[in-house]
Amino acid sequence: MSSINSKSFWRRIKSWPLLLPVVALLLVMAVNIIHDAATGANPLSFFLVSLKDTTTNGTILYGRIIDIINRGSEVAILAIGMTLVVSASAGTDISVGSVMSLCASFMCMMLAGYGVSSTTTLAVPLVIGLLAAVVMGLVCGAFNGTLVAHLSIQPMVATLILYSAARAIGLLLCNDLIVYVRNPSFAFFGAFAGPIPTPIIITVICIVIVSLVLKKTALGMYIQSVGINAKASRIAGLNSKLLIFLAYTLCGLFAAIAGIVASSRITSADSNNIGLYLEMDAILSVALGGNSLGGGKFNLAGSIIGAYTIQAITTTLYALGVSSIQAPVFKAIIVILIVVIEAPPFKAFVNRMSAAKAAKGVKA
Amino acid sequence: MEDNVVLTARGISMTFPGVKALDNVDLTLRKGEIHALMGENGAGKSTLIKCLTGINDFEAGEIHIEGIDGPVRNHSTRDAQNVGISTVYQEVNLCPNLSVAENLFIGREPLTVLHTVDRKSYNKRSQKIMDELGISVDVTQNLENYSLAIQQMVAIARAVDMECKVLILDEPTSSLDDEEVEKLFTLMRGLREKGVSILFVTHFLEQVYAVCDRITVLRNGKYVGEYPIADLPRMKLVAAMMGKDLDDLAEIKKEQKDYSKEPMEISAKGLSHAGTIKPFNLDIHKGEVVGIGGLLGSGRSELARCIYGADKAQTGSLEVAGEQVKINQPIDAMNKGMGMLPDDRKAEGIIADLSVRENIILALQAKRGMLRQLTRAQQEEIADRYIDLIQIKTASKETLVKQLSGGNQQKVILARWLATDPDFLILDEPTRGIDIGTKSEIQKLIVKLAGEGKSVLFISSEIEEMLRTCSRMVIMRDGQKVGELDHELSQENVMKAIAGGEA
């Protein structure tokens, strides 16, 4: 009786869509625990969260796991938009990192005033600056969306335009300067709200809103349907082009939000460095989340877990003493492992193995 | 093993999630015979073929092939080709963006001495192959430029050219017109003379009796029996496939009625779409079933697509229930009470990776708009209702639609449109690739819908089917509407009209 129950339990686990991202995250945690135990530290120090008094921010939450969730915010926010884009268009938006930077530059330029390289007072109300970033993100997203949906340009090529141009446009807006906005109301978005890091709160708000939209409207099914079969979706009454356009526009919006966070953290618009390589992390989050990059079905929770897993890997590598220059090598190895585990031929192989084992058991 | 046996499969079993797809099935193919594999949708025909060709990994049973010691187990179509089994599937599985020649030689391109692909030689060889089969195409053109029928022929040509012992044809004729079917039969008979064994899967009974030597019947994944063709007349075959005697199809036909007094549902004036359909007028009354007759490629589907907005009408005007409407895309037509089941199920019908439930509610949800989502309970209620009503065979409503058999996928799309409660439904080849039992169910359904006051535009390659259900027929030729028949509908009259002119 119990063996039957445990069997169906395993089957349910095996078909759980979040299996891969969760296992990956658990593995990273296990590595931390083992490393901490081996070095004589508290094995659970990875999970320890404490309150710490600081001179700049007052009492704040402190701990490695808080740091990971905080630092992973930008990628998690980007992963939301990327998930929709991948699902709807079977392509990726490789411009998100650059668009982040452009939005940040535009915002800081507005806040500091054109040509000003450093300021502590805001030239326009903060809200105007934030809106500027959001509008810029939407415009960039709409630009990408138009190219992909209405002109049928391949997503990689279409978003390559802003990938290479956006940072330069940002520099142009900032008169080739790194614009510093050293104002506490602006710095808030990259600092702390009470004891909790603000980026975490912003990320949670984004996730909650998107989840509610996906639950309460048919957007999720529409996007998946278009991603699986755009022609059939059109015949069934969906506006495929509009939906793909919408996915890219939303992706631009989330790039803007990530840009605000990243820029606020360093209270400046560093065009050349904000969001650098983050498009790759965002795409990887989607893949790690068990989503097919071939479009169609998506799982947002998977992408989010994927995003934090990537950050956890990065932080863990630093904790293990791997230098930041070599870290990508280890990241690559981990990615290869995960992608292999997720590959259909590997899954089929595992299934054959377990079937053979079961057959043996029956014979015996 | 008998001397002339080429392939034997014994006790093949295979399970899909929740469904026993094959249960202890046998198959014997002899040298130089055309062997029909018959059964209703979901009987396991396609599954069995995929076991032979290495796409499905069966759980129990053995396959033996002449000249090979021990059981054969293929793990890929390439394995299957290596042991002499070539296949042409129900839906064309070629690359539309490659040329005909490239499709013929994909994976086995002739090479030059420098080991580059020898384009000249394979273009020449391809042209020769196609000419020998009597298919007039330019082999350097991309496959997508040709009709589905030609694409099917290319797929067959590819299989034939691969020196196979066993050629499997899975519904090869479902998209071919009569003349093309005859060409294919000539080809099949030629191959039989050369000693090739052909396993032929079709839903057209008359085709079985036209070319086949032997029949194996499956039902619900089980082996029913193998019969020489002479021992199994048509009615017995149908009975064996269905496990019961066939309803009298003739009873479907409703009594003739004059619809001209009924209110107008659809009135098209001068609609056209450049390159596909010339301007046409068409009136359809409430409760009327209108058929479109014509050869494949004569503009049957295109006429329907033009009304529905799948191809936007570039000229003319359309009235729906007396109201002038402008239709730019399908959703506009849906909001005016239309629905369309397209002819290419795979490309334009199913959303393969979504569940049966999601596929059924999709059009209704699209009509309601994104913000007014049907609740999960409503979705399940609708899905259950239609699964029950038109008897969709599925493990559950959450099963992915791609796991269903072709006929059941078609029923899912039909359910999708019935759920929107349309006033005017376009059915483009709703019975293609569907077994005879389901065919008669769908025909009955059409008549029932008409009885409820809905109008139906019905397109089918089988004239008898339309004769049984339609009160009027539109005749198409070369992308143009050439006439209508509204009395004395008979096979002969319709054929005459389609053939045209000097009859």
- Cβ separation of B347 and A297 shorter than 8 Å? no
From chain A, the residues in CB contact with B354 under 8 A are 221, 224-225, 228, 297
A352 touches chain B (CB under 8 A): yes
pLDDT, tens digit (0-9, with 9 covering 90-100), for B205-259? 788 889 999 999 998 889 999 999 988 887 778 778 776 554 444 445 555 677 7
pLDDT, tens digit (0-9, with 9 covering 90-100), for B380-434? 999 999 999 988 989 999 999 999 988 899 999 999 999 999 999 999 999 887 7
pLDDT, tens digit (0-9, with 9 covering 90-100), for B466-502? 888 888 999 888 788 988 988 777 777 777 777 665 4
Measured CA to CA, the distance from residue B263 to residue B454 in angstroms comes to: 11
**Which residue of B336, B370, B417 is the best one to mutate when testing the A interface, meaning the one whose CB has the most A CBs within 10 A?**
B370
Burial class of residue B395, CB neighbours in 10 A (0-12, 13-18, 19+)? middle
- Cβ separation of A228 and B334 shorter than 8 Å? no
Q: Is the pLDDT of residue A5 over 50?
A: yes
H/E element holding B455? strand B455-459
Domain match, B205 and B104 both: yes
Domain match, B278 and B158 both: no
CA atoms within 13 A on the CB side of B216: 25
In sequence order, the 6+-apart residues with CB closer than 8 A to the CB of B248 are none
DSSP label at residue A321: T
- Cβ separation of B349 and A221 shorter than 8 Å? no
Listed ranges A131-145, A163-177, B191-205, B253-267; the one with the highest mean pLDDT: A131-145
Domain match, B381 and B482 both: no
Domain match, B40 and B72 both: yes
- Cβ separation of B373 and A218 shorter than 8 Å? yes
- Of B92, B108, B101, B107, nearest to B135 by C-alpha is B101
Residue B215: its pLDDT value, please?
Answer: 94
Residue B248: its pLDDT value, please?
Answer: 46
CB A208: neighbour CB atoms within 10 A? 10
Boundary residue ending a domain (B366, B391, B417): B417
**Which residue of B311, B353, B375, B412 is the best one to mutate when testing the A interface, meaning the one whose CB has the most A CBs within 10 A?**
B353
Q: What is the mean pLDDT of residues A266-292?
A: 91
- Cβ separation of B348 and A231 shorter than 8 Å? yes
pLDDT band at B503 (very low <50, low <70, confident <90, very high): very low
The reply to whether B162 falls in a domain is yes
From chain A, the residues in CB contact with B352 under 8 A are 228-229
Measured in whole angstroms, the distance separating CA A135 from the mean position of its chain's CA atoms is: 20
In the stretch 286-325 of chain A, residues with CB closer than 8 A to chain B read: 296-297
Measured CA to CA, the distance from residue B372 to residue A343 in angstroms comes to: 37
Q: Is the pLDDT of residue B371 over 80?
A: yes
**Which residue of A213, A235, A350, A363 is the best one to mutate when testing the B interface, meaning the one whose CB has the most B CBs within 10 A?**
A235
Which residue in chain B has the smallest CA separation from A296? Answer: B353
Give the type of residue at A226. Answer: V
Domain match, B323 and B470 both: yes
- Cβ separation of A237 and B310 shorter than 8 Å? no
From chain B, the residues in CB contact with A229 under 8 A are 347-348, 350-352
| ipTM of the complex in this document | 0.85
Measured in whole angstroms, the distance separating CA A57 from the mean position of its chain's CA atoms is: 26
pLDDT, tens digit (0-9, with 9 covering 90-100), for A206-222? 999 999 999 999 999 99
From chain B, the residues in CB contact with A236 under 8 A are 330, 351, 362-363, 366, 416
From chain B, the residues in CB contact with A232 under 8 A are 342, 347-351
- Of B142, B149, B135, nearest to B103 by C-alpha is B142
Domain match, B187 and B302 both: no
Distance from CA of A364 to the nearest CA of B (A): 18
Domain match, B358 and B320 both: no
> By percentage, how much of chain A surpasses pLDDT 70?
96
Domain match, B222 and B297 both: no
CA atoms within 13 A on the CB side of A288: 30
Measured CA to CA, the distance from residue A282 to residue A101 in angstroms comes to: 15
The answer to whether A189 and A264 have CB atoms below 8 angstroms apart is yes
The reply to whether B38 falls in a domain is yes
Domain match, B189 and B306 both: no
CATH number of the domain within which B285 lies: 3.40.50.300
Residue A1: its pLDDT value, please?
Answer: 45
Q: Cα angle at A94 between A92 and A95, to 5 degrees?
A: 130
- Cβ separation of B331 and A224 shorter than 8 Å? no
Task: Name the residue range of residue B75's domain.
Answer: 5-244
Domain match, B77 and B172 both: yes
The reply to whether B138 falls in a domain is yes
A213 touches chain B (CB under 8 A): no
Which residue in chain B has the smallest CA separation from A232? Answer: B348
- Cβ separation of A228 and B310 shorter than 8 Å? no
Boundary residue ending a domain (B360, B386, B417): B417
Distances (CA, A) of A331 to A280, A317, A325, A334, B173: 12, 9, 11, 5, 53
A12 touches chain B (CB under 8 A): no
Distance from CA of A290 to the nearest CA of B (A): 15
The reply to whether B477 falls in a domain is yes
From chain B, the residues in CB contact with A231 under 8 A are 347-348
Residue B483: its pLDDT value, please?
Answer: 87
Q: What is the mean pLDDT of residues B197-211?
A: 86
Domain match, B375 and B439 both: no
Please state the domain count of chain B.
3
In sequence order, the 6+-apart residues with CB closer than 8 A to the CB of A34 are A43
**For chains A and B, what is the number of CB pairs under 8 angstroms?**
76
The reply to whether B226 falls in a domain is yes
- Cβ separation of A232 and B310 shorter than 8 Å? no
Domain match, B275 and B391 both: no
The reply to whether B344 falls in a domain is no
Boundary residue ending a domain (B394, B417, B440): B417
Residue A361: its pLDDT value, please?
Answer: 63
From chain B, the residues in CB contact with A234 under 8 A are 310, 329-330
pLDDT band at B117 (very low <50, low <70, confident <90, very high): confident
Strand pairing report for B197-201 and A118-119: unpaired
